[in-house]
Structure 1
Amino acid sequence: MTGIRPGPRNLITDIGGLKVGQAHDARVRTGVTVVLPDRPAVCACDVRGGGPGTRETDLLAADTLVEAVDALVLSGGSVYGLGAADGVVAALGAAGRGYSVGEGAKPAPIVPAAILFDLANSGDKNWGDRPPYGELGRQALAAADRAFELGVAGAGYGAKAGTLKGGIGSTSLVDDSGIAVGALVAVNAVGSVVMPGSDAFWAWPFEIDGEFGGARPDPRRPMAPDDWGAAKASPALRQNTTIAVVATNVALTPAQARRLAIMAQDGLSRAIRPVHTLFDGDVVFALSTGARPLAEPWALTLSVLGERAANCLARAVARGVFAARG
């Protein structure tokens, strides 16, 4: 691939100024992933699934007051997992981070979140009235670093991708000019990430340097229109969901970041079949650290960034499941 390649880590943290922290509870079989920018980052969101669970996504609209976020949270636990953001907010606020309205007022950390459903994965969910997610959020925030684990980790710890083990995946792309795009995803989809009767991922055409095993489909095998392969046989509402973050070091407005999130959703369509169903709560956040200007003509540059984000997200889905299977 001339002029563009994965970054040195092939992770979303190849975007300068971003860290990722993760924590899990093996007994409960669940976990939390936190994306932490060094400074507030412009953020937008696109929701495509029919059963989403989110926090503070309305705040990310282009016509609202606050344009940047202090962190993003991806969590297992369904509605209970939204409490992971409480722990992150409390810790950031104690450290003096957050939106400030003036001297003497306590800062309000802006921490949107999205959750996936892992309540039926046989982990011990008998937590009474004290779910573990607030503490898991604190632990994930404290662990934030440039390097992080893929596969059975963080928000993907208890996930299932179709009939396969789901998990956390991440990839990046950096071009010769230094423009960078990356993706992070927790894969818990109804749909299959592999082709019928094959170990080849639907995302195989986008693989770089064997990053998810190098398996290729058998060209002699016919592909029936409704053959979804290793999809969940009996999906239930709100029991699935793929949640993701894409990021770039290019300066974007909230409206431009929203377009980046919309285009990035196509990466899920390239990697999961079926996707965006009523049984999923698919959500993609887009972050801009603003380190580099948006080159003119800006509309063309943004379109290129969106395509790269979709590419990264498709690869991240396959990479996460491949790591979880390993």
Structure 2
Amino acid sequence: MSIRPGPRNLITDVEGILVGNAEDHRIRTGVTVIYPEARCPAAADVRGGAPGTWNIQAMDATSLRNEVDAIVLSGGSMYGLDAGGGVVAALGARGRGIGFGGAVIPVVPGAILFDLANGGEKDWGEAPPYAALGRAALGAVAPHFALGNAGAGLGARSNALKGGLGSASTLTGDGLQVGALVAVNSFGSAVMPGTDRFWAGPLEMGEEFGGLGPPTTRWRGEPEMPLPPGFAVNPMANTTIAVVACNVALRKGELQRLAIMAQDGLARAIRPIHTPFDGDTVFAMSTGRLPLTDPAMLARLGHLAADTLARAVARGVYHAASLGDRQGWRERFGR
């Protein structure tokens, strides 16, 4: 079956998904909101050793319901948890959520990454900016959005390079739509040590992250794993957080399996991954516009989601511009 990127090569090529970004360049941080036009089921899979999440238990297969109104990815470490509250307040004011006892309760899970050591001004005192950034990102949701130094990717760093916000999509000839969005803030590297080649190079479609393709010489490995500049053991200093979406109707357990399989995309694009210093988390969403016809379709979706997420990682690093002590990939390699 032929596959190709969607017309935008963004997660919004999955019909019914919108994305909004908001940034504070003085602080060097931001928020990204993934917004389904209709409430939709979701799941989450956490593999990193130092995660920062909220409300993911509401999506568990053993919970009463697992539909969400939005998913929030935020910088700011624990301060970034406020972004979810800002989105909840804004959605509630719109009447979006579960009606219960005369109240409307939006369901908004999310995850945070650490960007507090990137040189931005973090002098917010008792008024962190994240609730306002969450509301602004929700207000900006649209089919098109920026990559690289945008949203939750603004302050991100990826090993020795600048990290960023990435997205990609895959469409199949029989109507499957799969998209991925990721804020790359990884302890591990998205490029092979000593080269300019992305680990995800064999999966590239067209020239979506430089057109270099796989390496032309054999990589013989390094005596030690590549460490980011100034590395010191800090269990909160990294995390790659992502969302994958599809247009196939999936139940709770099936969505959980999609999120689990999608995590392999991080392993195809970042080395090492799921370390004690990362909080790697992948959410999965389903807009339910096509029926699931057999278990093989779920396996296909998981495979496509993993490859699409790997491509999104490379695109996030490829589009990121230099900031603070981290060079952007294009500046570093003169591309």
Q: Normalising to structure 2: TM-score of the pair?
A: 0.93
Letter in 2 for 1:37: P
Distance 1:203 1:261 in 2: 19
Letter in 1 for 2:300: V
Does residue 1:161 correspond to 2:172, yes or no? no
Does residue 1:180 correspond to 2:177, yes or no? yes
Letter in 2 for 1:271: A
Distance 1:236 1:160 in 2: 14
Distance 1:322 1:137 in 2: 25
- Structure 1's 17 and 220: CA in aligned 2 closer, same or farther, altered over 3 A? closer
Q: Is the 1:190–1:235 contact (alpha carbons within 8 Å) kept by the matching residues of 2?
A: no
Give the match for residue 66 of structure 1.
Answer: 65
Distance 2:275 2:191 in 1: 17
**Cα-to-partner distance string for 1:103-137 (whole Å, 9 max, x where unaligned):** xx111000001000001111111100100000000
Give the match for residue 279 of structure 1.
Answer: 277
Give the match for residue 116 of structure 1.
Answer: 113
Distance 1:250 1:6 in 2: 17
Distance 2:306 2:61 in 1: 21
Deviates more, 1:213-222 or 1:10-19: 213-222
Give the match for residue 93 of structure 1.
Answer: 92
Distance 2:138 2:246 in 1: 21
Q: How does 1:212-223 map to 2 (within 5 A)?
A: 212-215=209-212, 216-223=214-221
Gaps of 5+ in 1: none
- % identity of equivalent residues: 57
Q: C-alpha root-mean-square deviation of aligned residues, in Å? A: 1.2
- Structure 1's 314 and 221: CA in aligned 2 closer, same or farther, altered over 3 A? closer
Q: CA deviation at 1:210?
A: 1.3
- 1:301 aligns with one of 290, 297, 301: 297
Letter in 2 for 1:160: R
Letter in 1 for 2:261: M
Q: CA deviation at 1:229?
A: 4.1
Q: How does 1:188-207 map to 2 (within 5 A)?
A: 188-207=185-204
Structure 1 counterpart SS, 2:105: coil
**Cα-to-partner distance string for 1:145-172 (whole Å, 9 max, x where unaligned):** 0000000000010000111000000001
Q: Is the 1:194–1:229 contact (alpha carbons within 8 Å) kept by the matching residues of 2?
A: no
Q: CA deviation at 1:52?
A: 0.4
Distance 1:186 1:235 in 2: 21
Distance 1:137 1:110 in 2: 14
Distance 1:235 1:268 in 2: 22
Q: Is the 2:24–2:30 contact (alpha carbons within 8 Å) kept by the matching residues of 1?
A: yes
Q: Is the 2:180–2:312 contact (alpha carbons within 8 Å) kept by the matching residues of 1?
A: yes
Structure 1 counterpart SS, 2:286: strand
Distance 1:227 1:201 in 2: 19
Does residue 1:245 correspond to 2:243, yes or no? yes
Q: Normalising to structure 1: TM-score of the pair?
A: 0.96
